[in-house]
């Protein structure tokens, strides 16, 4: 039996370009892994079946596809096809990462399932090949193998290092409803129709804030091109941003396509104050504090 734990991600910057012919959008993003974890356990099955069971803590009425569509199941199939065996596996996922929250929960489980199945089946796969399989599963999956703070180019799947100092304290405002990533990108297309969108970029001031490890500069430089579109689909999110501003968060940014919002706090006390204010304001379903960066999918005992 193998257990792998995998973090959630937030995007410190998310630049989006015009829709490509393959339907995806070019991205220039800075991913940042935070210590909110899912755990994926892999056990040999008695036959060749690949199955998954989900246990989700926190959010009520969560619906998680637990069949063949599930990204973790697809990850297990990818490793099995790569090795060329027909062993079965029982995957059990303990979820803490919000579902459809913009924090890549499904992609995280896929990254963890890749690592767990490789280990269970003693798969001698190279790093590059593993990253290729990860990219086929989803745009965010390669980053969840790495973790830390890293650039994502292409449709988000091409990962490269950024020089990043320091550790950061985040307050995350969670909702008990999700936002569909595909719907948010469609709204982005609608809003930008007729505009000449250039190639997406990560702002220099964000990279320089990360190089120097300056939390105030980082807070001021957080940016997400999907934010306006997500707010258009979910206008009540504005109330979440308003609370963060009133509590002098160093910065705020939507996580991916939302609806989770991340606030940067200056210290533990500030994080507690922010969390209390958010919880008291009824603008979100739950509040958690998290710190980053942390490593990607790793074995856990
Ligand atoms: O890659 P992933 O499966 O996470 O993407 C989910 C959906 O989000 C895609 O089907 C697409 O509609 C949209 N997307 C996009 N451009 C990206 C990443 C995702 O349009 N770079």
DSSP string over 107-173: HHHHHHHHHHHHHHTT----HHHHHHHHHHH-TTHHHHHHBSEEEEETTTTEEEE----S-EEEEEE
> Which region among 2-11, 19-28, 58-67, 123-132 has the lowest average model confidence (pLDDT)?
58-67
Look at residue 61 in the predicted model and tell me its pLDDT.
43
Q: What number of H helices and E strands is found in the chain? A: 10, 12
Q: How many CB atoms lie within 10 A of CB 188?
A: 23
State how far the alpha carbon of 159 is from the alpha carbons of 5, 34, 82, 121, 261, in Å.
20, 17, 22, 26, 23
pLDDT digits (tens, 9 = 90+) for 212-256: 999 999 999 999 999 999 999 999 999 999 999 999 999 999 999
pLDDT digits (tens, 9 = 90+) for 105-163: 999 999 999 999 999 999 999 999 999 999 999 999 999 999 999 999 999 999 999 99
Measured from the CB, is residue 120 less than 6 Å from ligand 1?
no
Identify the H or E element spanning 194. Answer: none
Answer yes or no: is pLDDT of 287 > 90.
Answer: yes
The model's confidence at residue 300, banded by pLDDT at 50, 70 and 90, is: confident
What value does the mean pLDDT of the chain take? 94
Measured from the CB, is residue 156 less than 6 Å from ligand 1?
yes
Residues 6+ apart with CB under 8 A from 179: 100, 102, 230, 233, 234, 257, 258, 259
Q: Which of 38, 140, 225, 234 is catalytic?
A: 140
Look at residue 150 in the predicted model and tell me its pLDDT.
98
Percent of the chain clearing pLDDT 70 (strictly above): 96
Measured from the CB, is residue 20 less than 6 Å from ligand 1?
no
Q: How many CB atoms lie within 10 A of CB 223?
A: 19
Measured from the CB, is residue 56 less than 6 Å from ligand 1?
no
- Rounded distance from Cα 10 to ligand 1 centre (Å): 16
pLDDT digits (tens, 9 = 90+) for 192-214: 999 999 999 999 999 999 999 99
Please measure the distance between the N-terminal and C-terminal CA atoms of the chain and give it in whole angstroms: 10
Q: Which residues of 1-18 are buried (b: 16+ CB within 10 A; e: fewer)?
A: ebbbbbbbbbbbbbbbbb
Substitution site in 103, 185, 230, 258 for ligand 1 pocket (most atoms within 8 Å of beta carbon): 185
Answer yes or no: is pLDDT of 94 > 50.
Answer: yes
Q: Alpha-carbon torsion 133, 155, 295, 100, what sign?
A: negative
Give the nearest ligand 1 atom to 140 CA: 4
Look at residue 49 in the predicted model and tell me its pLDDT.
93
Residue nearest to atom 15 of ligand 1 (CA): 24
Residues in the chain: 301
Q: Please compute the mean of the pLDDT values over residues 5-15 and round it to a whole number.
A: 98
Return phi, psi of residue 41, to 5°: -110, 135
Q: Please compute the mean of the pLDDT values over residues 39-59 and round it to a whole number.
A: 87
Measured from the CB, is residue 296 less than 6 Å from ligand 1?
no
Look at residue 97 in the predicted model and tell me its pLDDT.
92
Active site includes 140?
yes
Measured from the CB, is residue 138 less than 6 Å from ligand 1?
yes
- Rounded distance from Cα 284 to ligand 1 centre (Å): 25
Look at residue 66 in the predicted model and tell me its pLDDT.
64
Look at residue 58 in the predicted model and tell me its pLDDT.
58
Structure tokens, 3: 């257990």
The model carries a pTM of 0.95
Structure tokens, 186: 């469609």
Answer yes or no: is pLDDT of 280 > 50.
Answer: yes
Q: Please compute the mean of the pLDDT values over residues 277-282 and round it to a whole number.
A: 96
Residue nearest to atom 20 of ligand 1 (CA): 24
Q: Please compute the mean of the pLDDT values over residues 32-42 and round it to a whole number.
A: 97
The model's confidence at residue 64, banded by pLDDT at 50, 70 and 90, is: low
State how far the alpha carbon of 132 is from the alpha carbons of 75, 85, 114, 123, 184, in Å.
12, 20, 11, 15, 26
Q: Which residues of 19-39 are buried (b: 16+ CB within 10 A; e: fewer)?
A: beeeeebbbbbbbbbbbbbbb
């Amino acid at each position: 039996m193998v257990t792998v734990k995998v973090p959630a991600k937030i995007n410190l910057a998310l630049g989006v370009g015009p829709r490509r012919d393959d339907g995806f959008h070019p991205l220039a993003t800075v991913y940042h892994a935070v210590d909110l974890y899912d755990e994926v356990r892999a056990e040999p099955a008695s036959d060749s079946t690949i199955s998954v069971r989900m246990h989700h803590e926190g959010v009520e009425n969560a619906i998680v596809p637990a069949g063949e569509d599930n990204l973790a199941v697809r990850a297990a199939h990818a490793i099995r096809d790569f090795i060329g065996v027909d062993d079965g596996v029982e995957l059990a996922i303990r979820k803490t990462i919000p579902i459809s929250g913009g924090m890549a929960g499904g992609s995280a489980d896929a990254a963890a399932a890749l690592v767990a199945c490789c280990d269970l089946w003693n798969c001698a796969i190279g790093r590059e090949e593993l990253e290729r399989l990860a990219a086929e599963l989803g745009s965010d999956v390669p980053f969840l193998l790495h973790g830390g703070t890293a650039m994502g180019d292409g449709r988000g799947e091409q990962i490269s290092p950024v020089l990043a100092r320091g550790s950061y304290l985040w307050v995350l405002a969670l909702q008990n409803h999700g936002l569909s990533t595909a719907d948010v990108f469609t709204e982005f297309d609608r809003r930008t129709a007729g505009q000449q969108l250039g190639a997406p970029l990560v702002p220099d001031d964000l990279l320089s804030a990360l190089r120097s490890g300056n939390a105030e500069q980082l807070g001021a430089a957080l940016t997400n091109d999907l934010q306006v579109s997500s707010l258009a689909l979910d206008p009540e999110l504005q109330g979440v941003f308003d609370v963060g501003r009133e509590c002098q968060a160093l910065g705020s940014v939507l996580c991916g396509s939302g609806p989770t919002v991340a606030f940067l706090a200056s210290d533990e006390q500030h994080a507690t104050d922010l969390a209390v204010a958010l919880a008291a304001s009824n603008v979100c379903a739950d509040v958690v504090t998290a710190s980053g960066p942390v490593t990607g999918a790793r074995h856990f005992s």
